[in-house]
Copies of this chain bind each other. A is one copy, B any other.
Amino acid sequence: MTQVAIFLFDGITALDAVGPYEVLQRLPGTEVVFVGLEPGVKYTEEKNLGLEASRSIDEVPAPDIVLIPGGLGTRNLMHDERVLAWVRAAHETSRWTTSVCTGSLILAGAGLLRGVEATSHWLALDLLREQGAIPVEDRVVRRGKIITAAGVSSGIDMALQLVELESNAAVAQAVQLSIEYDPQPPHDAGSPKKAPQAVVEMVRRAAKGNSR
């Protein structure tokens, strides 16, 4: 049985966790466990959605796959020694150590990304560099057993890659079909390279001092 541990915390971006969950829990022979510093409900950045961690990180010391979502809460957690010690120890025995969005700041805080190519939300790439990583503007970046994904929705694409790494292309396609992941965004504006410059500036201003 493959164990996936997804870390929940106050100030999380919900889709960072739930996108990969919806994919990974469909990988045959897999148990997905939501963990927190303590068990209990953790609230999103806007405090209007609670996601329940069923176990504490101490109860799940050696998952096969570690997944750290992002959100404003990472700004504190990237300095939280208990979280960092758990990530470091889990990484020693994990098959894959992964992050979505600013979850990579926690991997960096744990010292796993020193001189390593990695990604994060596009608004947080400078901060990632300050933490010693080498920012890469790809949607999913795999270096050794560390996989980092870009902002929020990118966790879905990363998780589909993980399913294929853990099984094969047919299973990954079956999971994709099960969640009917046939994206048809109304605009092609999902990255700062593609969105109109005025929109990029609008988001940058809104996020000032607040990047996720």
Q: Name the one of B169, B180, B198, B206 contacting A153, with C-beta atoms under 8 angstroms.
A: B180
User: What is the chain B residue whose CB lies nearest that of A196?
Assistant: B173
Interchain CB contact under 8 A, A34 and B49: yes
Question: In the complex, what distance in Å separates the CA atom of A153 from the CA atom of B179?
Answer: 6
Q: Let me know if A59 is at the binding interface, CB within 8 A.
A: no
> Which of A25, A182, A195 gathers the greatest number of chain B CB atoms within 10 Å?
A182
Interchain CB contact under 8 A, B170 and A186: no
Residues of B within 8 A of A85 (CB): none
Q: Let me know if A91 is at the binding interface, CB within 8 A.
A: no
Q: How large is the interface on A (under 10, 10 to 19, 20 to 34, 35 or more residues)?
A: 35 or more
Residues of B within 8 A of A185 (CB): 156-157, 160, 176, 181, 183
Question: In the complex, what distance in Å separates the CA atom of A189 from the CA atom of B181?
Answer: 8
Q: Let me know if A81 is at the binding interface, CB within 8 A.
A: no
Interchain CB contact under 8 A, A18 and B14: yes
> Which of A152, A177, A185, A203 gathers the greatest number of chain B CB atoms within 10 Å?
A177
Q: Name the one of B14, B151, B182, B186 contacting A180, with C-beta atoms under 8 angstroms.
A: B151
- Of the 9-residue stretches A50-58, A72-80, A107-115, A127-135, which lies at the interface with chain B? A50-58
Interchain CB contact under 8 A, B49 and A52: yes
16 extra A-B contacts, CB within 8 A, seeds A14-B21, A34-B49, A170-B202: A14-B18, A15-B19, A18-B18, A18-B19, A25-B48, A32-B46, A153-B179, A153-B181, A153-B182, A157-B184, A173-B189, A174-B199, A177-B189, A177-B195, A177-B200, A182-B194
A-B contact pairs, 8 of them (CB 8 A): A15-B18, A15-B179, A19-B19, A21-B49, A33-B48, A153-B156, A153-B183, A160-B185
